[in-house]
A and B are shown apart, each in its own frame.
Chain A
Amino acid sequence: MSGYVLTWRDPQASAPSDGAVLLPELAQLDKQSLLAMPLTVGRDVVPLGERFDVEGEPGDTLTLRRLPPLDRLGEAMTWGILIIDGPAGDDLGASMRGGLIRVRGNAGARVGGPSAGRHHGMTDGEIVIEGDAGEQCGLNMRRGMIVVTGNTGAYPGHRMAAGTIVVVGAEAPSCQYGAGLEMRRGTIVFLGATPMVAHPSLAVQGEYAAAAVPILSLLLRRVAALEVNVTHPPRWRLSSGDMMELGKGEIWQAI
């Protein structure tokens, strides 16, 4: 895993205006070009090297350090690895199409949701949040995977069309409130102990031994491959929905 580490020099200064420009594609530039890249900060346009310390060499990974929580980080990302060493703002990975985003902190609302003016959220790629995520995690998601090691805010998987959300912590009641509202397809997995507050248009399908549902083992093994500690619960409860929509979505809760 090679690439650049960009460290924001002055945490007290205004942050970059557009988090969406900080994509792994920058890691492919030579160092001089990267340092000279124009960066909008407030009303100013400055060379990136003026506000960031840059270490490393060209590769496929861009690591961001000491930034305040920026919105739209990883927006429309198609490739590579974006590591955010700290919190991320709202709309992380909006309309993402590939690659991996890892946040070593919390993230805001609408992780993997749609970019402004678009209908679909992320369509591919993987997002790992080593902390909590805000409301509407996976809004309008259409494939790809989001892993949250802590909790999410309310309405995870809102209007989800496909893809997978795994909430490892899931101890806070908020994260299971309104889960899968208006969901069409896709999978939400809650590994924590908090019972779900199911909205009325979910149908409870019963309890299953883990060995009878191999797809969950595949998903949890993928989560482990993303360097997230997971246990494999022996039993699960399945709810399907949203029955007011297509009804092919599924919510699995560890028992």
Chain B
Amino acid sequence: MDIQGTIIEDEFAEAFRMWAARLIVTAMNPHWLRIAAQESCGYGTSVIGCDAEAGVERWLGGEHTPDGRPGAALLWFAFNAKALAKAVPNRVGQCLMTCPTTAVYDGLPEAKDSDDARLPLGNMIRFFGDGHQKSKVIADRRYWRIPVMDGEFLAEESIGAVKAIGGGNFLICAVDHEAGLAAAQRAVEVIGPLPGVITPFPGGVVRSGSKVGSRYNKLFASTNDEYCPMLRGRNHTKLREGVTCVYEIVINGLNAPAIAEAMNHGIRAACGPGVVAISAGNYGGTLGKFHFRLREVLK
């Protein structure tokens, strides 16, 4: 199978169960909103070393936010609900409460079933108010109001968390850096507006894709050597002739259809001159329960 001359390998992406929370963040203007999103999603690429995988799902106009101000929907993923419950108030407290004019709302208010989780947010951060905090209940939703130096920081009492999926991916195998980066950027650009997904790595792109395991006991992940072009000849390689640069697009999503759609759009955008093949990362299918076969998502 090929698209615009790019070979689609008969491979699959192996993805994992994760938990996700969606926060709606608003600010007084787009400048401070961007800073809030950037800071709170920073150091949020991989749960291998970060407390969460974080990104902007989409930017929201005032007509789509609870308070009518410019906003963003942020998706944060962690291994489990407990890890997410720790990461969320930490990130909100350190990166959103500190940022001028922000407010934070629950982006998954429907997460109330026994399969879902409610993570305390305002309920935890309120103590920063040192007794001066207040709450307001509006239509059965409680908002904590913490007095701060520019007025008050508004944070909803709790936010919903749901079972989600992390690690959808595809590998762009290109002839050189220029072609690889251009393809990766095209892919990330078309994935950006799609609902329910984020690409948590820098600019949405991973240059240091990993494999499970290492010769060093203390590391549980190490470089994906079969896709490292400079190891060709020294090592078993999965790279086709002519490939000198590989970039991985990792996609986390609220559900499998959202990831499949993102992969479909992203791969199609990436294909073209200079891109020899599209492949995908997996672990033999034995670790992650979600498999996205490239040739099926592209149907």
Contacts and interface: CB of A to CB of B under 8 A. Distances in A.
> Is this pair of chains taken from one and the same complex?
yes
Given A218-B67, A221-B66, A212 B134 contact: no
Interface centre among B26, B67, B139, B143 (most CB of A within 10 A): B67
**Sorted from nearest, which 4 A-B pairs have the closest CB atoms?**
A214-B67, A217-B67, A214-B103, A211-B28
A185 B137 CA distance: 13
A218 B144 CA distance: 13
A217 B28 contact: no
B154 interface: yes
Interface size class of B (residues with CB under 8 A): 20 to 34
A205 to B, nearest CB: 10
Interface in B110-157: 134, 136-139, 143, 145, 150-152, 154
Given A164-B136, A225-B139, A211 B66 contact: no
Nearest to B70: A211
Contact of A212 (B66, B68, B151): B151
Contact of B145 (A143, A208, A215): A215
Interface string A170-197: 0000000000000001010000000000
B152 A213 contact: yes
Contacts of B265: none
B139 A248 contact: no
Nearest to B150: A212
A219 interface: yes
B-side binding surface: helix, strand, loop or mixed?
strand
A165 to B, nearest CB: 13
Contact of A215 (B29, B101, B139, B154): B154
- For chain A, the bracket of interface size reads 20 to 34
Interface in B47-101: 66-69, 101
Contacts of B66: 214, 217-218, 221
A219 B103 CA distance: 15
Contacts of B68: 217, 221, 232
Contacts of B67: 214-215, 217-218, 221
A212 B138 contact: no
Interface in B215-250: none
Contacts of B150: 212
A145 B67 CA distance: 18
Interface string A191-210: 00000000000000000110
Nearest to A232: B68
A222 interface: yes
B84 to A, nearest CB: 25
A143 B28 contact: no
A185 B28 contact: no
Given A164-B136, A187-B136, A213-B152, A218 B143 contact: yes
Interface string B148-172: 0011101000000000000000000
Name which of B28, B69, B136, B152 has the most chain A CB atoms within 10 A of its CB.
B136
Given A185-B134, A248-B134, A211 B139 contact: no
Contacts of A185: 134
19 contacts: A185-B134, A211-B28, A212-B101, A213-B151, A214-B69, A214-B103, A214-B154, A215-B67, A215-B145, A215-B152, A217-B67, A217-B69, A218-B67, A218-B136, A218-B143, A219-B138, A221-B66, A221-B67, A222-B138
Contacts of B69: 211, 214, 217
Given A211-B69, A212-B28, A212-B101, A218 B138 contact: yes
Contacts of A145: 138
A187 B154 CA distance: 15
Interface in A28-84: none
A100 to B, nearest CB: 11
Contacts of A212: 28, 101, 150-151
A212 B29 CA distance: 10
B34 to A, nearest CB: 16
Nearest to A247: B132
Contacts of A208: 151
A123 to B, nearest CB: 10
B29 to A, nearest CB: 8
B209 to A, nearest CB: 41
